[in-house]
Amino acid sequence: MGTCIICGVSTDGRICSSHEEDVAFRFEGNRANQLGQGRYYEGTVDGFADFGVFVDIGDSGKVTGLLHRSELDRRLESLEWDPGQTVFVQVTDVHDNGDIDLGWSIRQEPREFRGLLVHDPDADPSTFEPEDEEGNGHAEAETAPASASEPAAEAEEADAESAEPERSEPEPEAPADGAEASEPEPEETTEAEEPTETEELAEETQDSAAESVETTDETEGPDEEAEVEPAERVPVEELDDHFGDRVRVEGEVRSVHQTGGPTVFEVGDETGTVEAAAFVAAGERAYPEVEAEDAVAVIGEVERHRGDLQVESESVVVLEGDAAHTVEERLSEAVNEEAAPPETEPLAATPEIESLDDELDAVATALRRAVVESRPVVIRHTATVDGYVGGVALERAVLPLVEEAHAGGDARYHYVSRRPMRDAFYDVGAATDDVTSMLKDAARHDEKHPLFVLVGAGHTEESIDGLGLLETYDAERVVLATGGSDDEAVAATDESLVTTGVTTATLAAHAAVRTNPDVREDLEPLPAFSYWGEVPKAYADLAAEHGYDDEDAAAVREAVALAAYYQSYEDKRELLEDLFWGEGNTGLAGHISDQFREKLETALETARPHIEERAVAGTTVSVLDAEAFTHHRDFPTLPLILDALRREGDVDTLLGVAEDELHVRGEGVALRELGADVAEAVPEGGVAARGADADSGHVEFLVGARKAVIDAAVESVGEQVGERAITE
């Protein structure tokens, strides 16, 4: 029987059951069922997966658990862990089959626990420590913050002191609710100091000259000498020149992140952003009254954390009145100036693009403003070649701006995300996913609501409800697309650029170069990758300047098409970067495109003999029963098969019918008219057109009405094509 190292009560071992979660354990067993559920263990990062992190518990290599991404307090992509790194996790469950569920620990340093004990399942449970050769139990060097014989109060005091990081200035106490934060008293000062009033600090922070923060009730006015050395306001962009100095930074809180140690505030002024760390206790929120979008004054010392500048704060004060207004005015002027797109030539000065000058500027301004305001940019695009190329073009332009604006090394993952969609519609399902993620990030990190950019989607009535959900939360919405559109959907966006005559990827590439002209060289070949038919000469020439002839461009296009199909919900950022800009990219593209061509040709060979031709209204409509004569549920998809059959030139108007969907390809076929005709002819068929044009939409129906739907669709398409022929 021993005593608990924390509370001193009698217990088996070094820790009582009430305080097991206050310490960490180093595991020396080799079976999962030897672990203690609910305990925190020291582990080693074994590897990463899309769904989480594998962590080895102990040194045997036989006990590995999964820390699922849903357990993290941040995005998996922004987790700054490396394979082999020592981490701390909580064992939340051990299954009968040996699987181990792990939970997140905000404490990631030994000093943040009340002790580090050894869990040896074969040792005497009264010690939880291995015995030395003399048979005496011994503690790890890091083990207990105080011996079991010390009083509990002394142990807690020792722990608190050991948990404090070394600082050049004394640590301030967290301000109480409703109280204003004040600058800490220097060590040599013995008199108690009154907290500074917000209004007093607000008046002082208006002037960028060095001013003192009032700290005592004895200071009658500005003429009297202050007891605390003033901190000079320094713009963020100049902090590198003030390394080691005590400074004041005034700006807006862009986000708040709670780590296992300090609270980290990302503060932006008119010149940039910097992280300010505030510590009261391990994992405890400092300055809980400070929220995202507050105007604040941060006083502290300029240091470096993992290579990036950081302000180790003494105080973080929310500004009010004139002081807050001054900060807001500085930021507003800077935002307007930085958000304005620089003058740049278009990628290709074609008539279609020159007519869209103002609209392209508006899209570029929205993207640049989001970066300046530290709002995440979420790019939603279709899982097609056009969608992927367009989405990557915008991502390529925004990423360098984000990295320039934010000091954190994970900014490219935190502030830019690209999320593909299977359909060309931004429906309630997609919007619900985005809103859920957005609200979670706002709750966890005080993150601002993102700018949503919809590429090749969001311009038809199917997206109205999804756009409305975003609007409910005041999330900005921008649409880039080609083809037909619906006025109500366009009205539900903040900026909308929908046109015809070019691909969506071409539009996106032109918007991207206006957003960031520095990436122009990377963007120039992209439009050529998005044209399945003849590539316009202007874009073919641009691709040729970068070493892509027609065959090379086709190889990249086909490689993207195949990659887009598999794991269509993933952004494939690294793979696409290799395809477009990596060394030996033609070799990679050629390897993947060979697979594309082999799979497509197999599908075409199967489909060609089963195309049925029907004569209607003086024209011929070709029908392919895709459910019977293709493997469209695998690659290639039905739209890819239909497009390839039409490019061969043997059919003019083609219907492809899956189990409960009908796709059509042909000049002069109006999808909405087709849907209305079939719905009228087969009222019990549950018929509905999805989309504004035939190239990106389809007609849905009930399986039981399939034959009647096909017959009615053939009649409608034949009449539309016949009428067009007569008119021409």
* Topology given in CATH for the domain delimited by 2-162: OB fold (Dihydrolipoamide Acetyltransferase, E2P) (2.40.50)
* Rounded Cα gap, residues 652 and 711, in angstroms: 18
Task: Please determine, for residue 156, whether its predicted confidence score (pLDDT) is greater than 50.
Answer: no
How sure is the predictor about 140, in pLDDT bands with cuts at 50, 70 and 90? Answer: very low
Mean pLDDT throughout 665-682?
A: 94
pLDDT digits (tens, 9 = 90+) for 166-214: 444 444 444 444 434 444 444 444 344 444 444 444 444 434 333 333 3
* pLDDT for res 223: 37
Task: Please determine, for residue 125, whether its predicted confidence score (pLDDT) is greater than 70.
Answer: no
For 538, other C-beta atoms within 10 Å of its C-beta total 16
* pLDDT for res 378: 97
* pLDDT for res 227: 38
* Mean pLDDT for all residues in the chain: 83
Distance of CA 696 to the CA centre of its chain: 27
Q: Spell 301-324 as b/e; 16+ CB within 10 A means b.
A: bbeeeeeebbbbbbbbbbbeeebb
More confident residue, 208 or 653: 653
* pLDDT for res 359: 95
More confident residue, 98 or 385: 385
Residues 6+ apart with CB under 8 A from 54: 45, 46, 47, 48, 64, 65, 66, 67
Task: Please determine, for residue 504, whether its predicted confidence score (pLDDT) is greater than 50.
Answer: yes
Task: Please determine, for residue 612, whether its predicted confidence score (pLDDT) is greater than 60.
Answer: yes
Q: How far is CA 228 from CA 185, 186, 212, 280, 496, in A?
A: 7, 7, 7, 21, 54
Mean pLDDT throughout 465-478?
A: 96
How sure is the predictor about 409, in pLDDT bands with cuts at 50, 70 and 90? Answer: low
* Same fold for the pair 2-162 and 198-215+226-332: yes
More confident residue, 322 or 307: 322
Count of positions (residues) in the chain: 728
CATH of region 351-548: 3.90.1640.30
Q: What angle is formed at CA 373 by the lines to CA 304 and CA 478, rounded to 5 degrees? A: 135
More confident residue, 321 or 218: 321
Q: Say which range, 305-309, 342-346, 524-528, has the weakest mean pLDDT.
A: 305-309
Task: Please determine, for residue 655, whether its predicted confidence score (pLDDT) is greater than 80.
Answer: yes
Using an 8 Å Cβ cutoff, are 198 and 317 in contact? Answer: yes
For 633, other C-beta atoms within 10 Å of its C-beta total 11
Mean pLDDT throughout 442-455?
A: 88
Q: Say which range, 379-393, 444-458, 529-543, has the weakest mean pLDDT.
A: 444-458
* pLDDT for res 449: 93
More confident residue, 708 or 59: 708
* pLDDT for res 191: 42
How sure is the predictor about 493, in pLDDT bands with cuts at 50, 70 and 90? Answer: very high
Q: Say which range, 172-181, 245-254, 274-283, has the weakest mean pLDDT.
A: 172-181
* pLDDT for res 636: 95
SS3 label, residue 177: coil
Of all residues in the chain, the percent with pLDDT exceeding 90 is 57
Task: Please determine, for residue 149, whether its predicted confidence score (pLDDT) is greater than 50.
Answer: no
Pairing of strands 86-94, 100-103: antiparallel
Q: Which CATH architecture has domain 198-215+226-332?
A: Beta Barrel (2.40)
* pLDDT for res 407: 67
* pLDDT for res 562: 95
pTM above 0.85, yes or no: no
* pLDDT for res 50: 75
Task: Please determine, for residue 617, whether its predicted confidence score (pLDDT) is greater than 70.
Answer: yes
Task: Please determine, for residue 57, whether its predicted confidence score (pLDDT) is greater than 60.
Answer: yes
> What's the distance, Cα to Cα, between the start and end of the chain in Å?
99
Residues 6+ apart with CB under 8 A from 389: 503, 505, 508, 509, 526, 527, 529, 530, 560
* pLDDT for res 169: 44
Q: Spell 583-597 as b/e; 16+ CB within 10 A means b.
A: eebbebbbebbeebe
Q: Which helix (H) or strand (E) holds 420?
A: strand 416-421
Mean pLDDT throughout 114-126?
A: 75
* pLDDT for res 725: 62
* Rounded Cα gap, residues 419 and 381, in angstroms: 7
Sign of the torsion formed by the C-alpha atoms of 545, 551, 553 and 555: negative
pLDDT digits (tens, 9 = 90+) for 622-644: 999 999 999 988 999 999 999 99
Task: Please determine, for residue 153, whether its predicted confidence score (pLDDT) is greater than 80.
Answer: no
Q: How far is CA 616 from CA 498, 625, 662, 714, 725, in A?
A: 34, 18, 18, 8, 13
Q: Read off the amino acid at residue 237.
A: E
Task: Please determine, for residue 278, whether its predicted confidence score (pLDDT) is greater than 70.
Answer: yes
* Topology given in CATH for the domain delimited by 606-727: Diaminopimelate Epimerase; Chain A, domain 1 (3.10.310)
Of all residues in the chain, the percent with pLDDT exceeding 70 is 83
Task: Please determine, for residue 26, whether its predicted confidence score (pLDDT) is greater than 70.
Answer: yes
Q: List the domain boundaries for the chain.
A: 2-162, 198-215+226-332, 351-548, 606-727
